[in-house]
Structure 1
Amino acid sequence: MTNLTAIPTRPLRMRAALRRAIDLRVKKGMTIGAACEEAGMSPQGYHKAMKRPAVRDYLQTVQLEFVASVESDKAMHKARAMEVGMDLMLNSKSEAVRARMVEFFASDGKVSPVSVHIDARQNNGYEYVRPGQKVVEVVDMEDGPNDKAGSSGV
């Protein structure tokens, strides 16, 4: 019987500047140009490196790690928000705040959507005029007796 041994994989060879540019791009949300400038490499070098599968794999690993860290932070902040909500519900001087927190906890922490109402019947003097369109102003005959047509082009 023969002894088979696994050949160790070659470590990923990647410039430190490229790693830094990828980290800045993912973790700080920088543009490619800004990340490359801060890392000390050219954007062309970044794009050329992205053609290598190993570099794309590294990018994906960094992205997955970043998402996992954001998710863990989200859970921690959510727990802290619940503590603050409980404190408001129990200790707030305002009855409205306490009532709102009771509603919040009764709905299992689901926030009701914000209700926005826009009354389109109100005319506050603002009107969108498309380019090339004429604005026509209607004038009552009582207000402008000299204007027999009842409208004027602007």
Structure 2
Amino acid sequence: MTKPLAIVQPRPSRLSAKLRRAIELRVTEGRTIADACAEAGISPQGWYKAMKRPAVRDHLEEVQRRFVAEVDANRGLIKAQALQVALELMLHAKSESIRARMAEFLASDGKAPQVSVNIDARQGGGYEYRRPGQRVVEIEEEPISSEPE
């Protein structure tokens, strides 16, 4: 009698706690690789060697996705807190200009005023450097005459 083949589940990746900590520090706190490795207790060479493994890269991507999702979830709360601070400044600031700015800020639904910048790119080159002894050639166009030659 033959036994049915069991479905083999992939083995969970075995990442050390130090490597996991270094990845967390790198992603969530924006540390450099050297700083994250130093605090976690691994060498930078160990980091680079571990990053060659697909399981480690997958874990890094998972931590990054989780971090971005947490930041997006907190965005509404942070925006509400910022609007509350702006309201406090508008009501209780000693400077009249700060109160006026906060009133404009809150009236524009929490968006900063846009700055209009006009750049005229049709102007000539501005300064030109001429080396000593260099000749400058100016080309002049001949006027177009209406008489045939």
User: 1:8 is aligned with what amino acid?
Assistant: Q
Show CA shifts across 1:31-70 (max 9, x none).
2122222222221121111111111010011111122222
Who is 2:39 aligned against?
38
Count of aligned pairs between the two proteins: 115
Distance 1:24 1:44 in 2: 17
Consecutive unaligned residues of structure 1, counting only runs of 5 or more, are 116-154
Q: Give the 5 Å matches for 1:8-47.
A: 8-47=9-48
Shift of residue 106, structure 1, vs aligned partner = 2.2
**Identity value in percent:** 58
After superposing on structure 2, the runs of 4+ consecutive aligned residues of structure 1 that deviate more than 6 Å are none
CA 1:103–1:19: 2 relative to 1, 3 Å = same
CA 1:93–1:19: 2 relative to 1, 3 Å = closer
Q: TM-score, normalised by structure 2?
A: 0.62
Q: Give the 5 Å matches for 1:125-140.
A: none
User: 1:44 is aligned with what amino acid?
Assistant: Q
Q: TM-score, normalised by structure 1?
A: 0.60
Show CA shifts across 1:6-43 (max 9, x none).
54332111111111111111122222122222222221
Distance 1:63 1:21 in 2: 13
CA 1:7–1:102: 2 relative to 1, 3 Å = same
Who is 1:97 aligned against?
98
1:58 aligns with 2:48: no
Distance 2:99 2:22 in 1: 48
Distance 2:88 2:34 in 1: 46
Please provide the CA RMSD for this pair.
Answer: 2.9
Who is 1:48 aligned against?
49
CA 1:99–1:30: 2 relative to 1, 3 Å = closer
Distance 2:5 2:105 in 1: 62
CA 1:31–1:90: 2 relative to 1, 3 Å = closer
Who is 2:107 aligned against?
106
Distance 2:34 2:22 in 1: 9
